[in-house]
Amino acid sequence: MADEMSNFERAKMMVCLDLGIVPTDLNLKEELAKMEPEEARKSKRKFRKLRRKQLKKLEHVKFLSHRKQLALHGVKKEINLLALKMLGGQKT
C-alpha cells in the first residue's frame, strides 16, 4: 500500500503526524486502538481542538449538525492545504 501512495497522500500523512493526529485516510478506531491510551487521548484532543477552531469559523451556520459536518470538512481541507504547501503547490 505504501508503494501506491502518491506524493500528495504522503504529504497529507506527514501533516497529520506533524499535527499529532491520526492521519485522516486511515481507520481511526483501529489506529487509536494500536496506540498507548495516553497517546490516543492526546491525539483525540488535538483533533477536537482543530475541529473546534473550524466550528468557530462557522458560527453563522444555523444548525449544529451542519456546523459539525462542515467543521470536519474544514479540518480535512486545512490538512490538504498544508500538504499542498509542503509540496510547493503541486498535487502529484
> Chain-wide mean pLDDT for the chain?
88
| Distant-in-sequence, close-in-space partners of 49: CB < 8 Å, separation ≥ 6 | none
Report the sign of the C-alpha dihedral through residues 5, 11, 12, 18, in that order. Answer: positive
pLDDT band, residue 4 (cuts 50/70/90) = low
The full set of domain ranges for the chain reads 2-86
Residue 5 clears pLDDT 80, i.e. is over it = no
